[in-house]
Chain A
């Protein structure tokens, strides 16, 4: 079967660092996406990993370990506007499977 797991909710403080984990069990793997989705809005692309390692893009970084079926999204210097859901999505065998997302709340 195909399964993607993310924590349902997380809370962090403005200015802090937060790590959002994603584990997956899929038949095949061709890449992993992270999307940000503010409440009531469409998802927007954050990152794409296909090889193991860390991809850094400004305040956001994404890590992938294919052998462990594991990825994380790291958000640094958190801002209030980072309050949103973060969706992990795995590309596998001609399909794209989304996780249910992690709702991040950033507190002052």
Chain B
């Protein structure tokens, strides 16, 4: 089945210790997104790629970086996680930018 896969589902890191979250897709979609979602809040778009073209949201902290080495994979790097970065991180894909999005199951990040 075509899908969006995120690993790991749960990630624990220490304050200030770099962490990388991964996302892969078998849908062959052009666009990949990373969202941050805190409890009872709306998903907040961090960045998205159309193919290799990177689009950073204006209010995404510099602490967050992303890489898309090929169509199938996309990574979220948090260089120095703070306690406020604890959240669910959702990866999504779509054929065209901001058309119907297909979400992965998410990675729940805990910062100790």
Residues of A within 8 A of B (CB): 4, 30-31, 33, 41-45, 48, 87, 91, 94-101, 103
Q: B98 near A: Cβ within 8 Å?
A: yes
- A/B interface sample: 29 pairs, CB < 8 A: A4-B42, A30-B98, A31-B98, A33-B100, A33-B101, A41-B105, A42-B103, A42-B105, A43-B43, A43-B101, A45-B101, A48-B100, A87-B42, A87-B43, A94-B97, A95-B45, A95-B98, A96-B45, A96-B98, A97-B42, A98-B42, A98-B43, A98-B44, A99-B42, A100-B41, A100-B42, A101-B40, A101-B42, A103-B40
A-B CB proximity, top 9 nearest = A42-B103, A98-B42, A96-B98, A100-B42, A91-B98, A45-B100, A98-B43, A43-B103, A42-B106
Q: On chain B, which size bracket covers the interface?
A: 10 to 19
Instruction: Give the contacting residue for A42; candidates B41, B42, B45, B90; CB below 8 A.
Output: B90
Name B102's closest neighbour in chain A (CB-CB): A45
Question: Nearest Cβ distance between residue B91 and chain A, in whole angstroms?
Answer: 9
Residues of B within 8 A of A (CB): 40-45, 90, 92, 97-98, 100-106
Other than A42-B92, A96-B98, give 19 A-B pairs with Cβ distance below 8 A. A30-B98, A33-B100, A41-B105, A42-B106, A43-B43, A43-B90, A45-B101, A48-B100, A87-B42, A91-B98, A94-B97, A94-B98, A95-B98, A96-B45, A98-B42, A99-B42, A100-B41, A100-B42, A101-B42
Name A48's closest neighbour in chain B (CB-CB): B100
